[in-house]
Amino acid sequence: MTDVRKAITQAHQEEWARVVAALTKRLGDLDIAEEAAAEAFATAVARWPADGVPPNPGAWLTTTAKRKAIDRIRRENKRDDKQKEAQMLYDDDPPEPLDAVRAIEDERLRLIFTCCHPALAMETRVALTLRMVGGLTVPEIARAFLVQETTMGQRITRAKAKIKAARIPYRMPSAEDLPARVSGVLAVLFLVFNEGYLATGPDTDPVRHDLTAEAIRLTRLVRALMPEDGEVAGLLALMLLTDARRAARVSASGELVTLDEQDRGAWNAALVAEGHRLVRERLDAAAAGLAPGRYQILAAINAVHTSARQVRDTDWSQVVALYDQLVRLDPSPIIALNRAVAVAELDGPDVALTAVDRLEDRLAGYHAYHATRADLLRRLGRSQESRAAYGKAIELTANTAEIAYLTRRRDQLG
Amino acid sequence: MQYFVSVIADGTELANPHEMAAIDAFNDRLRAQGYWVYANGLAEPSTATVIDGRGEEPVFTDGPFLESKEFLAGFWIIEAPNLDVALKLAAEGSKACNRKLELRPFHGPEA
């Protein structure tokens, strides 16, 4: 029984996106594909415990889903548009130009690119990707983003309707659009990861492992489908090296533990090793002349941190050099803020504070800006100002572990 | 598949000669590549009349049907195989007329 349950869970993780993608391609309709896939998995849950797990679960699920879809189309055929639906149905695998790209392309990639289409709002892309590619249920996604189930259901329904009515194509982006579209997909995955890693809300766990795990799983999938893409590798490495520190990042009493105070022995060595391997792979590519993108540089920064056995072993000059490289690609004030944190270690808190203060007009509403200032002011002995900055940071933070940490720091000031 | 592309202007001034030339060049390309269905510019909103013919006698009201800071200044109807192609064309059109555009599919047979 537990073996069957395990097999179903595994099939769901491995086959869900493949079943949805195969049916969408076949039927040209994401909505029918999703419903049929869900019915096929429900049938598996009902039948496998008695009938046993089929030798090829993926094929069984695809066949079952296809039958469910055909049933639904037949039902609808009785109502309207007979001819067109029948044509769609009996046109098995229409012939396609068999150029090299198409031959190796996995159908799941089209699904991912469709769900992350730039004509959809960011929150819609996230919801659709988790539903269609990740196989999460609507209630699960609603819980993850703290919205009502009906709201999330409507968001997904509207998205499917727009994809159909506006004819968002179910295909790989053209070569010239590919880099921008890939970075759109990565932005969706990174957002899912960050919502898990920096979970917000008073009644929420400070780290939502379900979301970080799902983001990593989906990024692994994209990596498997696009092994040549450096930014995909970079994002996966970044997630792994970040997630590796999860256990050390929140204390037993639920307080955030900053990088310098973390128990490095509690880091997940396997994830660190895998992340480092990916970063090395990208360093080799960079040495061969391929300029790294932002995720690769962020991953490299995390690799420097995770390479240091003690915080004092950290190669801060390399961290700052990597941030310099990142600032050239992405002049956002948040990157500049993170760079300043590294500068404090290399050149001292006074130099860093000057850099941080320059960001005030753009980051005054961002909790990390005030938390960084508070820490620098504390190190400079400017307790009064530090206390005020901690206060502002606490006001602007929604993560419970961060609030606990900042409060303790503030209350330690004389 | 046909898309309706409306030109959103935040003022009532017409296209200047430079914009007009760019629009002409863009339209020529639409025609040459088979995307063109129709396009035209509209006279300013103050020339509009709202008609309600649902009652016994039709009622005519002077002016546009809603007061707004942004106006429909013109439109294209384009024929494109999918949204990706339509968006690319619309991005060029927006650059040519130097205004924002809104793109909507026509109500298709399947929708």
Segment B36-87, tens digit of pLDDT = 999 999 988 889 999 999 999 999 999 888 888 898 999 999 999 999 999 9
Whole-complex ipTM: 0.87
Please choose, from the candidates A188, A183, A181, the residue with its C-alpha nearest in 3D space to the C-alpha of residue A113.
A181
- Residues A13-34: pLDDT tens digits? 889 999 999 999 888 899 999 9
Residue A173 CB-density burial (10 A; 0-12 exposed, 13-18 middle, 19+ buried): buried
Chain position carrying tokens 């960050």:
A194
Written as six digits, the tokens of A160 are: 């499917």
pLDDT value for A181: 92
Question: Is any Cβ of chain A less than 8 angstroms from the Cβ of B82?
Answer: yes
Could you give the CA distance from residue A31 to residue A157 in angstroms, rounded to a whole number? 8
Could you give the CA distance from residue A67 to residue A56 in angstroms, rounded to a whole number? 17
pLDDT value for A87: 45
Q: Where are the domains of chain B?
A: 2-105
Interface test with A, best of B5, B104, B107, B110 (most A CBs within 10 A): B110
pLDDT value for A172: 87
What residues contact A70, with CB distance under 8 A and at least 6 apart?
A: A89
**pTM recorded for the entire structure:** 0.85
Question: Is any Cβ of chain B less than 8 angstroms from the Cβ of A76?
Answer: no
Q: How far is CA A292 from CA A220, A296, A318, A385, B16, in A?
A: 19, 6, 16, 39, 43
What residues contact A143, with CB distance under 8 A and at least 6 apart?
A: none
Could you give the CA distance from residue A197 to residue A147 in angstroms, rounded to a whole number? 18
Please choose, from the candidates A34, A56, A213, the residue with its C-alpha nearest in 3D space to the C-alpha of residue A133.
A34
Using a CB-CB distance cutoff of 8 angstroms, which residues of chain A are in contact with residue B81?
Answer: 167, 169
pLDDT value for A99: 45
Q: Look at residue A104 and tell me whether its pLDDT is greater than 80.
A: no
Q: How far is CA A235 from CA A104, A109, A186, A242, B21, in A?
A: 23, 17, 7, 10, 45
Could you give the CA distance from residue A337 to residue A123 in angstroms, rounded to a whole number? 26
Task: Tell me what the mean pLDDT of segment A96-100 comes to.
Answer: 43
Q: Give the CATH H-level superfamily of domain B2-105.
A: Dimeric alpha+beta barrel (3.30.70.1060)
Read off the pLDDT band of A386 (50, 70, 90).
very high
Q: Look at residue A199 and tell me whether its pLDDT is greater than 80.
A: no
What residues contact B21, with CB distance under 8 A and at least 6 apart?
A: none
- Residues A240-251: pLDDT tens digits? 999 999 999 999
Do the chains contact at A169 and B82, CB–CB below 8 Å?
yes
What residues contact A339, with CB distance under 8 A and at least 6 apart?
A: A320, A323, A324, A326, A327, A355
- Residues A45-87: pLDDT tens digits? 999 999 999 999 999 999 999 999 999 888 887 766 555 554 4
Question: Is any Cβ of chain A less than 8 angstroms from the Cβ of B83?
Answer: yes
Query: What's the gap in Å between the CA of B109 and the closest CA on chain A?
Result: 9
